[in-house]
């Protein structure tokens, strides 16, 4: 079980509101400073602007600090995934996270299954696992159906139960269904809060342990039987806190809290 952070744990570090946005190299450095073993470059289009030399430089930077890199994107179009597989290979990333888009299965899942099957030789030759994320646009049962039809250890689930709540899927049920196929784990807490005037709710992130995520259940389901060891990637849904200084302080505190919890669990279950 490698523990690390992803781009979404540093969300406010590179937004336009930050006058000194953190680059990908700086994110790798931050992961190393936090004692992480892995950093997931996820949904960050800046990686596409890197040429071969730039990708080699990022890979070397990570290797020198003992950081394994992972890569994340969206869609399962053949051309797009082929391009990102090339980037993943250049970075030495063994995990590529992606997401099936609604329009890609509007006419059924057969085309997606066929596309993923054509990519299996490339995944196998490169030693890369494609992890398809759980989220509200695609029912979990549909996602698992695609993965089961592809039927390869190189295609699994990126488990993030927080994403499925807005589709009225219960987090624990998503965890139980996906745990046997989980190849990558996103860890973040989440909660509902009443809006002002009690008119509706806001659904957003929460400090770990203060929201609805049953972390013990999640980790036990994914790692408990000892047959799988996907990386655990810390993420957040942290709303803007009114000013940059306060927001960054909260983001960093949430990250420290989640990393500490994951490390305690791993140490307690190391045997």
What would the pLDDT profile of 125-178 be if each residue is shown by its tens digit?
Answer: 999 999 999 999 999 999 999 999 999 999 999 999 999 999 999 999 999 999
Sign of the torsion formed by the C-alpha atoms of 230, 231, 232 and 233: negative
Which residues, in sequence order, are CB contacts of 92 under 8 Å at separation 6+?
59, 62, 63, 68, 69
Q: Is residue 228's pLDDT more than 90?
A: no
Q: Is residue 194's pLDDT more than 80?
A: yes
> Tokens representing 233?
């990637």
Judged by average pLDDT, the poorest of 33-37, 173-177, 196-200 is: 196-200
Q: Is residue 205's pLDDT more than 70?
A: yes
pLDDT of residue 6: 98
Which residues, in sequence order, are CB contacts of 15 under 8 Å at separation 6+?
21
| Higher per-residue pLDDT: 119 or 227 | 119
Which residues, in sequence order, are CB contacts of 230 under 8 Å at separation 6+?
1, 95, 131, 156, 182, 183, 184, 185, 222
> Tokens representing 106?
């509007």
Kindly state the average pLDDT of the residues 171-197: 95
Q: Is residue 107's pLDDT more than 80?
A: yes
> Tokens representing 203?
């659904």
Q: Dihedrals φ, ψ of 225, to 5°?
A: -90, 0
pTM of the entire predicted model? 0.96
Full set of structural domains in the chain with CATH: 3-268 (3.20.20.150)
Distance CA 43, CA 25 (A): 15
pLDDT of residue 271: 65
Secondary structure (3-state) at 224:
coil
A 10 A CB-CB count for 189 gives 23
* pLDDT tens per residue, range 12-29: 999 989 999 999 999 999
> Strand locations in the chain, DSSP E?
3-6, 38-42, 68-72, 95-98, 129-133, 155-159, 182-187, 189-194, 201-206, 232-234
Place 227 in a pLDDT band, splitting at 50, 70 and 90. confident
Distance CA 10, CA 30 (A): 9
Q: Is residue 113's pLDDT more than 80?
A: yes
pLDDT of residue 198: 84
Q: Is residue 120's pLDDT more than 90?
A: yes
Query: Nearest 5°: CA angle at 189, between 233 and 214?
Result: 100
Percent pLDDT > 70 in the chain is: 100
pLDDT of residue 199: 85
Query: For all residues of the chain together, what is the average pLDDT?
Result: 96
Distance CA 20, CA 245 (A): 12
* pLDDT tens per residue, range 62-99: 999 999 999 999 999 999 999 999 999 999 999 999 99
- Bridge-partner residues for 155, per DSSP? 130
């Amino acid at each position: 079980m490698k523990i690390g952070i992803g781009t979404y744990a540093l969300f406010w570090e590179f937004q336009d509101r930050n006058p000194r946005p953190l680059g990908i190299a700086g994110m790798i450095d931050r992961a190393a400073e936090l004692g992480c073993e892995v950093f997931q470059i996820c949904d960050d289009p800046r990686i596409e602007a890197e040429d071969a030399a730039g990708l080699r430089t990022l890979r070397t930077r990570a290797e020198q600090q003992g950081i394994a890199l992972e890569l994340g994107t969206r869609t399962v179009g053949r051309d797009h995934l082929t391009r990102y597989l090339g980037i993943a290979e250049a970075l030495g990333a063994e995990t590529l996270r992606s997401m099936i888009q609604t329009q890609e299965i509007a006419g059924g899942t057969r085309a997606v299954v066929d596309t993923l099957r054509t990519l299996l030789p490339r995944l196998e030759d490169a030693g890369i696992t494609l992890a398809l994320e759980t989220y509200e646009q695609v029912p979990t049962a549909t996602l698992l159906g695609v993965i089961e039809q592809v039927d390869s250890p190189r295609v699994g689930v990126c488990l993030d139960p927080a994403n499925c709540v807005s589709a009225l899927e219960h987090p624990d049920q998503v965890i139980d269904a996906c745990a046997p196929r989980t190849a990558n784990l996103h860890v973040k807490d989440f909660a509902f809060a009443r809006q002002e005037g009690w008119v509706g709710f806001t659904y957003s992130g929460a400090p770990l342990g203060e929201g609805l995520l049953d972390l013990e259940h999640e980790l036990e389901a994914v790692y408990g039987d000892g047959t799988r060891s996907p990386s655990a990637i810390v993420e957040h849904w942290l709303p803007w806190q009114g000013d940059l200084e306060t927001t960054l302080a909260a983001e960093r505190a949430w990250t420290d809290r989640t990393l500490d919890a994951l490390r305690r669990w791993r140490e307690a279950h190391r045997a």
